[in-house]
Amino acid sequence: MKRIIIGIHGLGNKPPASLYRSWWRKSLYEGFSRIGHPRRNLPFELVYWADIMHPAPLDPSIKDPDDKRYLDEPYLIAAGASAVKQSILRKKFLQLFGKQLDRLKLDGEGQIIWKHITDLIIQRYFFELDSYYRNSWVSPVEGSQPVRDRIRSRLAEALRRHHDKEILLIAHSMGAIIAYDVLAHTVPEVRVQQLITIGAPLGVPVVVQKIRNEWGLNAGMPPTPDAVVERWYNLADLEDKVAFDYQLADDYRPNRHQVAPLDVQVVNDYVIQRKRNPHKDFGYLRTRELARICFNFISQGSSIGRIRRLDLQYRLWEKLLQWAKGSPQST
């Protein structure tokens, strides 16, 4: 059976769909090269929904930071980091994550003390979540259809179109909420072999409660959608403020296939102007952990000999590309 990788992005305005899709591909290519299995012709589709909420995409040619269409975080090839540096970072991340969990506690009346949730969640992310969950909110671009329904339909259409293939779905940030909702309620009949959530806010209490509400639950753990039939990997950098409660295994119970979230700590290495953004999609997409999951998925059923031949073919191809560009290998 044929296989495909489908991605869905997170909130906020984005560059034009074709450019953004190519940047997701390039990020995945970086990850495959890092694990020694370079690939170029990945079966991949990006579900793009930024245009539903934003009339005009971000424009890489605009240089004025005050322009609403200014793109401040374009795709950049990773500069690279040594294993020693990553090991030190991981230790710091664990310490930071423990402090963040300590801040999220209940007061004497059992109410969430929201002031301890990061400024990013409250000031930027929560507003977008509120807009998504208020299904009466209408798209400023597409008119009468409520924005939540329109966004969900984009992913549902892609999943239905590829229902005859084995699917690996990668969902970033708010895209993880959309993916969960679509798999649970919109197209539960479509089988998704593997789900990868990256930088997902699915552990944030207000999101968990919204998900409970849609299931008709007052309390308890909502289920992993039955549409996910093999694995659910949840990847998070421990400095990612959107995924500050990254441990989903204690928030979602197994589905009827006994699939539950498997939490994986990663290092998101996206850096621009010497500032790191541990939530950026490009950084997550090129992590070795995600690359191994994707590689194992697309390589199922391939012989060792075929894998080695393809490895050699694409290594030669990458060297030719580097020679043609006159630049050294950057990943």
Query: For residue 216, how many other CB atoms are within 10 A of its CB?
Result: 6
pLDDT of 102 above 70: no
User: pLDDT value at position 135?
Assistant: 66
The total number of residues written for the chain in this structure = 331
State the DSSP string of 154-183. HHHHHHHHTTTSEEEEEEETHHHHHHHHII
User: pLDDT value at position 96?
Assistant: 54
User: pLDDT value at position 146?
Assistant: 80
What is the share, in percent, of the chain residues with pLDDT greater than 70? 80
* pLDDT digit string, tens, across residues 207-235: 888 899 899 998 889 999 999 999 999 99
User: pLDDT value at position 320?
Assistant: 81
* pLDDT digit string, tens, across residues 17-39: 999 999 999 999 999 999 999 88
pLDDT of 186 above 70: yes
Kindly report the average pLDDT of the chain as a whole number: 84
* Burial category of 211 from C-beta neighbours within 10 Å (exposed 0-12, middle 13-18, buried 19 and up): buried
* pLDDT digit string, tens, across residues 268-297: 999 999 999 999 999 999 999 999 999 999
Question: In the structure, how many helices (H) and strands (E) does the chain have?
Answer: 11, 8
User: pLDDT value at position 267?
Assistant: 94
What is the share, in percent, of the chain residues with pLDDT greater than 90? 58
- Judged by DSSP in three states, 23 sits in helix
Q: Which residue has the higher pLDDT, 143 or 61?
A: 61
User: pLDDT value at position 71?
Assistant: 96
* Distance (Å, whole) CA 26 – CA 74: 12
pLDDT of 84 above 60: no
**Residue 128: band (very low, low, confident or very high) from pLDDT cuts 50, 70, 90:** low
Query: For residue 268, how many other CB atoms are within 10 A of its CB?
Result: 26
pLDDT of 119 above 70: no
Reading the block at residue 272, the tokens are 């621009």
**Beta strand pairing status for 166-172 and 3-8?**
parallel
* Distance (Å, whole) CA 251 – CA 223: 9
* pLDDT digit string, tens, across residues 289-325: 999 999 999 999 888 988 888 888 878 877 787 788 7
Domain residue ranges in the chain? 3-300
C-alpha closest to that of 11 among 120, 112, 115, 114: 120
CA-to-CA dists, residue 8 to 89, 152, 204, angstroms: 28, 11, 20
**Beta strand pairing status for 166-172 and 192-198?**
parallel
Reading the block at residue 317, the tokens are 């191809």
